[in-house]
Structures are given as C-alpha cells and as structure tokens.
Amino acid sequence: MLRGLMMDRPLLISSIIDFAAEIRSDTEIVSARVEGDLHRYTYAGSRRRIAQLAHWLQDHGIKPGDRVATLAWNGYRHFELYYAIAGIGAVCHTINPRLFPDQITYIVNHAEDRLLFVDGTFAPLVEKLAGSLPKDMRTVVMTDRGHMPENALTYALCYEELLAGQPETIDWPEFDENSAAGLCYTSGTTGNPKGVLYSHRSTILHTLGVLAVADGIGLRPGQSILPVVPLFHVNAWGLPYLMPLTGTKIVFPGPRLDGPNLFALLDQESVTAAWGVPTVWLGLAAEMRKQGRAPAGLQVVLTGGSAAPGPLIRELELNYGLNITHGWGMTEMSPVGSLTVLNKKMRNQPREEQLPYKASQGRRLFGCDLKIVGEDGKRLPHDGVAFGELLVRGPAVMSAYFNDDDANAASHDAEGWLRTGDVARIDPDGFLFIVDRTKDVIKSGGEWISSIDLENAAIGHPAIQECAVIAAPHPKWSERPLLIAVLKEGQTATAEEVRGFLADKVAKWWLPDDVLFVAELPHTATGKLSKLQLREQFKDHVLPTIAEQPTP
C-alpha cells in the first residue's frame, strides 16, 4: 500500500467553534432563558465565554478523559459546556432530566462524573439525590449570583462567577481524534441505562454526513433553527456542531416547549426551521389550527426520534406549506442514520405524491451502512418488500457500550454490525421504512402486524389526538392489536366508529380487536410513547373478541 502524503491533522471538535467564531462571527445565538428573558450573542461572543469556561475547568483540575455532567435545557450556557469540556479533552456527559431519579443516580455514579452543571430548574432534584451522588463531585448552577436558587444547592458554585476574570482566548490542546468527547446514556426497555461514548472523530464525521444534505433541512447562512430536540439527549441530533459550521442562527427554546410557547418564539424570531420529535409537532399543529396559520418564516420541520404520523406530515405540508423532513437514528449512531432526501424525479412531483416518501424514514447518510436480516441472520434484499431486523455500521456508530459487559454481549452481530432493534424494509432507491421495534411488533397467527402502520392510519381519524397500538394476548391468534387513543379536546368517538374508519385503510385482519380511550398516554424520558408502560398498564385487559372465540 502506498501511503498518501497528506497532513495527519486530528479531527477535533474545538476546530468547529474556532471556525464559527472566525467565519460565522456575527451569526446570532438567541436563548429563551430559564430566568425568563431572551439572551443574545454571536458565535464570536460565545467562543470568548467558551475559552473562559475552559480555563476555569483546567484550573480546577479537570483532566483529559474526566467526565463533566450537565442537567440542563437548551440554552447558550449548555452550548458553551459542549465546547469547553470537549475542547480541553474532557467528556461532556449530558444527562436527561426526565429520567427517573434512580436512573440519574445510577448514571452519574456509573460515569464517575467529577462535576455537575445544572439549570436552576433542576436544583431541587439534585438536592434530593445529593446523598447518593459521588462524594467529591461538585455542582455548578448555570446562572448568575442574583438567580441562584434560594432553598436548594446553597453550597453550589455559580456559573457566571466561574467565567468572570478568565482569559477570553485559548489555544486548544491537540490530542488523538479517537479520544472521547461526549457521553450519553440510553435507557433501554430492560436493565440499567447504557452509556454511549462519542469520540471527536465520530462527532466530526457524523456532522459531515448530515452536512451532505444540509440544504433541505434548514442549515444555511441567513437561516435559523430552533432545536426542540434537547442538548441533554443524543447531542440534539448534531445541531450544536452543524449550526456553527453552516453559520445558521440558533434559537434555543429553554424550558417552555408547549405548542403556544413554541409558536410564539418561532414567530417572534422568524425562525426558518425547527427540529424535534413528533409529539412536539402535534402540539404545535394544534396551535397552528387555533391561529389558522404557521409561525411567520417557518419553512422546514425536521421530525425524528419516533415515527412521524402520515396525517401530521400531510397537514403540515398541504395545509401550511411546510417542508417536512423525516429522520431516523439512535443514540448509538450519534444519532442520525437516515433522512428523507427526495431524488430528482420525486422533487418534481406534486407535494401530495411526495408524502409516502416523507412518511418513510428516508435514505441513509453518507458513512452509515444499513442491512436487514431474516431470523436466520442472513441478509435480505433491498427490494421494498422483504423486511427484517435492521443493523448498521459506520465510523459514527458505537462499537461498544461504556463499561458494560452485559449490554455488550448481544449488541453486535458476528460481522460487527450494531443491532438496532428495529424491523425495517428498504426499497431499491434506498428509502428505509421502519415497520416496528422487534419487541413491539404484533404477531397474530404467525403473521406480523406493524403497530406503526396501524397507528399512522388511526391518527388520521379526525377526533384522535394521539394513539398507540400494543399487542394484547389472544388464545387463538396468540396476539391481537389493541388501540389506545387520546381524543382531541371536545371530540368524541366510539370503538366501532374508529374500527369503521380504519376498515378501508388496513387489511381486515389488522383491525384492532378493541379501541380504548384514555386521557393521556405515557411517554419516555425522550418524549416517545412508552409502549413498555402501556403494556404494563393494560396487561390484564381482556379483548372482547376472546369471548367470541372458542378457547382452544
């Protein structure tokens, strides 16, 4: 092999903020703060405070490889932590505040965090956990002295005081690009949360993979993005790196993420694109219906994290003229694996005809290889028909969980591909269709019923706000679908009517055996429907169809 003669410069995260401070210097970062007001500065201003924070961390004994945790909303200080911590070679460990307190305790201890940065909102939570957190871990509240919480964490340090007086420039250290930069725990359906440890190299390569399709997803100078997707989970889908590189203005929404508040902020800042999970868009769509319009300036909605219901995509596209991009990925993949990027022929089609592709999980990113396999582990064709377990491979895909032999035992196949736990088909153009989770799929009389497809059909019912389909035990068929729905405010519906609505949308044997109406559905810490909790909640539900069948 003849070696190329190019410089072997490490791919480091610090180079992104340096580039942004120089080339995108006057692009703004706006944050709706926990304190209640709006804060504004530029990438150049941010770089100065990042340098100050990095100096403080180094002066206070944070060494390369040390874990520094955050428990915070989307805001400029959280963004500063991403760069200051990784910049000095330490590991930015973002913790999801919506996890159960026991899980947070487990995570902080497992990661052996040295420092914990928290938004004031979470001071009471941290105070409550204090006895079970590492003894020598210090806590910093991310605010100024005047806003320090009065009754909790009275011993904690104050963020703005750490920065005061520190130098506003820094020469970043250089080190191996494979060094760890970020840590995020993912809570599976069983067992303790598992840590995914990102490197500088994986982060940069993931960023470049998304950048290859940047234009269609709102990443451009002169444009602005409101990340509803949290910095506390899966690197906000890479936005903290993507926005500075492309010179996209950032509008961080802080803690108020309901439809009316989001609408107001999007409107006020004329935000051009917003990224988040479908539940958030259901809330925003309800507000748009009330106001009879989309927020001023909004053009692109990127939805991911769980399947986006077809009717939601239809409403946003056809009623409000928004351009929806659907993405799929997972914590273990940095996280984006695929995005809906239409090919030339599809782009020229009327919007209506593009919708089935927008409802798909899109096409793989550069650097992310996909394969589907049957129950025997053998590869299945990408013919749009065959479906099986989806596995992935790439430089931004996790090779092993952090210090977790149990979880690593079954995470990869013999060829080293990561098992996603998703069931999918892939068509000849590379469009990915997630059919289900391996554990959520309903097996009726030996045949698979896709809970996702059923939910997508049911959400089109005009009275249904949100719904989920789970498998309920059945003596004859082994499992049958049970639909659980939340109705829109002031609306009514009956089980029979919903079944009637579905009759011409899915195969007859897919029709749910029962439809239940509830006030609210349980969600996970990342805002997805928690089928685990639903299954637990309805484990004793007896389907009305059981009485009709002779028991075998």
Which residues make up the interface to ligand AMP (CB under 6 A)? 186, 234, 304-307, 326-331, 335, 361, 420-422, 434, 437, 526
Closest to ligand AMP by CB, 98 or 437: 437
The nearest distance, CB 335 to ligand AMP, in angstroms, is: 5
Mark whether 186 is an active-site residue.
yes
Nearer to ligand AMP, 216 or 260 (CB): 216
**CB-wise, 31 or 331, nearer to ligand AMP?**
331
For residue 335, whether the previous peptide bond is cis, meaning omega lies within 30 degrees of 0, is: yes
Could you tell me if 257 and 264 are in contact, meaning their C-beta atoms sit under 8 angstroms apart?
A: no
Which residues fall within 8 angstroms of residue 287, CB to CB, at 6 or more apart? 259, 260, 262, 263
Nearest alpha-carbon partner for 328 in 312, 342, 311, 308: 308
Shorter beta-carbon distance to ligand AMP: residue 119 or 453: 453
The b/e string for 404-442 (b: 16+ C-beta within 10 A; e otherwise) is beebeeebbeeeebbbbbbbbbbeeeebbbbbbbeebbb
**Minimum CB distance to ligand AMP smaller for 27 or for 331:** 331
Shortest Å distance, C-beta 439 to ligand AMP: 10
User: CB of residue 372 vs ligand AMP: minimum separation in angstroms?
Assistant: 14
From the candidates 70, 186, 272, 340, give the one annotated as an active-site residue: 186
Catalytic residue list contains 332: yes
User: What residues contact 36, with CB distance under 8 A and at least 6 apart?
Assistant: none
Alpha-carbon separation of residue 355 from 154, 308, 466 (angstroms): 53, 12, 20
Helix (H, G, I), strand (E, B) or coil at 413: coil
| 43 versus 185: smaller Cβ distance to ligand AMP | 185
Options 443, 497, 509, 539, the catalytic residue: 443
Element housing 454 (H / E): helix 451-458
Give me the phi and psi of 120, to 5 degrees please: -50, -35
Residue among 126 and 418 whose Cβ is closer to ligand AMP: 418
Task: Look up residue 427 and give its amino acid.
Answer: D
Q: How far is the CB of 425 from ligand AMP (least distance, A)?
A: 13
How many other CB atoms are found less than 10 A from the CB of residue 443? 13
Residue 210's nearest CA partner among 188, 183, 241 is 241
151 or 190: CB nearest ligand AMP: 190
The pairing of strands 300-304 and 273-276 is parallel
CB contact set of 205 (below 8 Å; sequence gap of 6+): 11, 367, 395, 396
| 254 φ/ψ sector (left φ>0, alpha ψ -120 to 50, else beta) | left
Tell me the three state secondary structure of residue 479: strand
| Placement of tokens 């602005």 in the chain | 224
Residue 90 Cβ vs ligand AMP, minimum distance, rounded to whole Å? 23
**Active-site choice (63, 174, 447, 448):** 448
Catalytic residue among 269, 315, 332, 389: 332
Q: Which amino acid, residue 499?
A: R
Q: How far does CA 88 lie from the centroid of its chain?
A: 26
Q: What is the rounded distance in angstroms from the CA atom of residue 149 to the CA atom of residue 164?
A: 20
Look-up of token digits 């609210």? 520
Distance of alpha carbon 469 from alpha carbon 440, whole angstroms? 9
To the query of whether residue 281 is one of the catalytic residues in this protein, the response is no
Smallest separation (angstroms) from ligand AMP to the CB of 434: 4
Q: Is 375 in the active site?
A: no
| Least gap, CB of 340 to ligand AMP (angstroms) | 9
According to DSSP, residue 142 is labeled S
Shortest distance (Å) from residue 304 CB to ligand AMP: 5
Residues involved in catalysis: 186, 332, 443, 448
